[in-house]
Amino acid sequence: MKQLIQNFKTGDLYVDDVPIPSISSGMVLVQNHFSLISAGTEKGTVKVGKASLIGKARQRPDLVAQVFQNIKKEGLVATFNKVKTKLDSLKALGYSSSGIVLASLDKSGLIRPGDRVACAGQDYASHAGVVSVPQNLVAKIPDNVSFEEAAFTTLGAIAMQGVRQANPKLGEKVCVIGLGLLGQLTIQLLNANGCDVFGVDFSEQLIKLATGSGCRVALNRNDPNLSKACENFTKGIGFDSVIITAAAPDNDPVILATEICRKRGKIIIVGAVKMDVPREPHFYKKELELKISCSYGPGRYDSNYEELGNDYPVAYVRWTEQRNMDAFLDLISRKKVNVNPLITHVFDIAKATEAYDIVLGKTLVPHIGILLEYKERENKLSSSVIIKNNPVAKINVGFIGAGSFAQSYLIPNLKPAGVSLDTVVTTKGITSKNVADKFGFNKCSTDKNDVFSNKEINTVFVATTHSSHASLVKDGLLAHKNIYVEKPLALTEEELDEIIETKSKNNFPLMVGFNRRFAPVCVEIKRAFENISEPLVVNIRVNAGFIPKDHWTQIDEIGGGRIIGEVCHFIDLMQFFTGSDPVKVYADCISSENSSLKLEDNLAVVITFKNGSVGNLTYVANGDKSVPKELIEVFGGGKTGIVNNFKNGTIHSENKIKTLKSESKGHREEVAAFLYALARGEDAPIDFRSICLTTLTTFKIVDSLQTGLPQDIL
């Protein structure tokens, strides 16, 4: 299929052939007929991509701050690789489209193949032939509404949410500042609501269009009589509310709003304007109310709503994103809103770059609503695209999941080992195509079966979201593949039991990405304690940092939480140092009434091992970022080994100190060890029993927190 793409590093825009996206539970696969270019939003996005590195930094100082924070945490080399990966990424554009459902896995069962639907969402409703969209970002199109009209639905929902924030009453006087696409839709919605509307903009073309959209009066911002006109329009009272739909680099729209608003009136910000609100002379004395309108409505940026498909009860949240989309389509159907006069251009997707020349001002023609059309609709849609035909090596790799972690720490370490890169699979075609081009895979795909059914692929790397690890491991073993899977191996004991049973019948090497045991400083310390015949005490302190509850790693259905998803690293490391099986665990966490905290992210764990060793883990998310993330101490036999955040370490023995230096956290070494074992026909370098015990121990930690009691592991 064809998709419009921007290279974030160079800023180049182009249309390319990519695999169709995949769908999973709660998703809907839609063949686009039209998508709408949101000129204001997308112009800003494209300009950031086209800026130089310094220009990008100036426009996104928040990301620059993250980079410096990451350098403190992970070091310069690791941070450089992360930044490079981000810059080398391809960006999907667009977030409002319409088309026909090809397949649906929505949990409600209300959306079916053949349905005409409108779609919303950045990275979902993209400018692409086929899109995969969460069920709560899909709305059915009424029979008398065209695909062209329905393509405006997302922008309509954004405008509608702005109007809802103003909560205008019948007969109220409302000013709309900024008469672009959002402004024109806002005017029509206010007009349908029985409001008396005044418009302001710099463009005479948009001012003229606004009078046709329902504005009783529309004037240029530079008109010297603007203030007097506003006063006469409101009979000297001032506007009941002002809705700002403009995009501006300064706070002029906000200042104007404070001037023309009545006492105790409302200012609603929908567009991207500078939020510098002067207290005097109007804001304070008029007791004005300033409100932000968040995109399409309640549900936006809530992964439980958007990604997991959990709707809000209508009795408590009347207007959600999806219900706003439905309402806008209904208004079009009842002829209360007319978007057809807003359509100035229609381009075939193959000529999408010409459309963006207009948006970016390279081609100077009046424009407002620009649609992209998808005329070529193949009967057979492909999940894969062949990039090249490199020869197959003894170890031929398929890669499932290729996010920033995989691109920074795993894939770059494959080629030096002499393996061949066959197929990379991701849920989005744009991502798989980018990774394939960047690292030299022969094929890119969005279907895992393109890896598992390929008999030439003998080794599979899995780096997907945590919830899919267990099923992909089982699929790989059943397909007779060697498997490397990022941690965790499984999210439940049931999944773990199924993997154990599957591996007992299909005994192929299975490796989990517990990289820390391969870090050079850890290997050196392990060697120093190798010949002592007494139990060890291992202390590990992890200053993990705060992650909000709505982050994907914290959601049980997706990430499994940090105990299962990250604490497993340190259980494995304790096993590595002690050389023994964990037999019992006790855990406790903080107690607090602060609902923003995930209490189990701040815990202490004590593990006893079969050989008498003891492991103590302190894992916190409530510490200061300036403290290094990880401190590891090993005691026994008159010796002490210390690892300082994997940047350096020391071995203390006989009153002497041996200094160890390395910035490697073991990612390169673990991949090399796994591939070396495969080349020699050996099993994975971490014993499968040890991997299972590590995974089981994390489950027992959760049980201990819930029961308040120690839990037996063996």
Residue with tokens 């490796």: 511
Q: In what order do the strands lie in the sheet with 482-485?
A: 384-386, 443-445, 420-425, 396-400, 459-462, 482-485, 510-512
Q: What is the model's pLDDT at position 382?
A: 82
Q: What is the model's pLDDT at position 81?
A: 60
* pLDDT reading at 209 higher than 60: yes
Q: What is the model's pLDDT at position 86?
A: 62
**Interatomic CA distance for residues 243 and 193, integer angstroms:** 14
**Interatomic CA distance for residues 17 and 1, integer angstroms:** 5
Q: How confident is the model at residue 156 (pLDDT cuts 50, 70, 90)?
A: very high
Q: What is the model's pLDDT at position 73?
A: 59
Q: What domains sit in the chain, N to C, each tagged with a CATH number?
A: 2-152+301-373 (3.90.180.10), 155-292 (3.40.50.720), 384-513 (3.40.50.720), 516-712 (3.30.360.10)
* pLDDT reading at 59 higher than 60: no
* pLDDT reading at 44 higher than 90: no
Q: Which two tokens stand for residue 236?
A: 């000297």
Q: What is the tens place of the pLDDT at every residue in 248-279?
A: 989 999 999 999 999 999 999 999 999 899 99
Residue with tokens 């304790």: 574
Amino acid at residue number 229 = A
Least confident range of 57-71, 115-129, 430-444, 556-570: 57-71
Q: Which residues contact 412 (CB under 8 A, 6 or more apart)?
A: 81, 439
Q: How confident is the model at residue 11 (pLDDT cuts 50, 70, 90)?
A: confident
What's the mean pLDDT when you consider all of the chain?
A: 93
Give the distance from CA 483 to its chain's centroid. Answer: 26
Q: For 617-652, give one letter per residue: b (16+ CB within 10 A) or e.
A: bbbbbebeeeeebbbbebbbeebbbbbebbbebebe
Q: Residue 22 has what DSSP assignment? A: P
Mean pLDDT, rounded, for 528-555:
93
> Strands 239-244 and 656-661, how do they pair?
unpaired
Q: What is the model's pLDDT at position 71?
A: 63
Q: What is the tens place of the pLDDT at every residue in 585-641?
A: 999 999 999 998 999 999 999 999 999 999 999 999 999 988 999 999 999 999 999
Percentage of residues in the chain having pLDDT higher than 70 = 93
Number of H helices, E strands in the chain: 23, 32
Q: What is the model's pLDDT at position 377?
A: 67
* pLDDT reading at 474 higher than 70: yes
Q: What is the model's pLDDT at position 381?
A: 74
Residue with tokens 């591939």: 675
Q: What is the model's pLDDT at position 66?
A: 65
Q: For 554-569, give one letter per residue: b (16+ CB within 10 A) or e.
A: bbebbbbbbbbbbbbb
Q: Residue 607 has what DSSP assignment? A: E
Mean pLDDT, rounded, for 135-142:
98
Q: Compute the Cα dihedral for 177, 181, 182, 184 and give only its sign.
A: positive
Residue with tokens 């023995």: 653
Residue with tokens 């992209």: 372
Q: What is the model's pLDDT at position 151?
A: 98
**Interatomic CA distance for residues 540 and 517, integer angstroms:** 13
* pLDDT reading at 80 higher than 80: no
Burial classification of residue 531, based on how many CB atoms lie within 10 Å of its CB (0-12 exposed, 13-18 middle, 19 or more buried): exposed
Mean pLDDT, rounded, for 140-169:
97
Q: What is the model's pLDDT at position 320?
A: 97
What is the total residue count of the chain? 714
Q: What is the model's pLDDT at position 531?
A: 86
Least confident range of 37-46, 211-220, 250-259, 359-368: 37-46
Q: How confident is the model at residue 89 (pLDDT cuts 50, 70, 90)?
A: confident
Q: Compute the Cα dihedral for 607, 608, 610, 613 and give only its sign.
A: positive
Q: How confident is the model at residue 84 (pLDDT cuts 50, 70, 90)?
A: low
Q: For 52-64, give one letter per residue: b (16+ CB within 10 A) or e.
A: eeeebeeeeeeee
Q: Residue 579 has what DSSP assignment? A: -
- SS3 category, 50: helix
Could you write out the three-class secondary structure of 657-708? Answer: EEEEECCCCCHHHHHHHHHHHHHCCCCCCCCHHHHHHHHHHHHHHHHHHHHC
Stated pTM of the model? 0.87
Look at 384 and 156; give whichever has higher pLDDT. Answer: 156
Q: What is the model's pLDDT at position 26?
A: 94
Q: What is the tens place of the pLDDT at every residue in 399-423?
A: 999 999 999 999 999 988 889 999 9
Q: What is the tens place of the pLDDT at every residue in 485-495?
A: 999 999 999 99
Q: How confident is the model at residue 74 (pLDDT cuts 50, 70, 90)?
A: low
* pLDDT reading at 559 higher than 90: yes
* pLDDT reading at 90 higher than 90: no
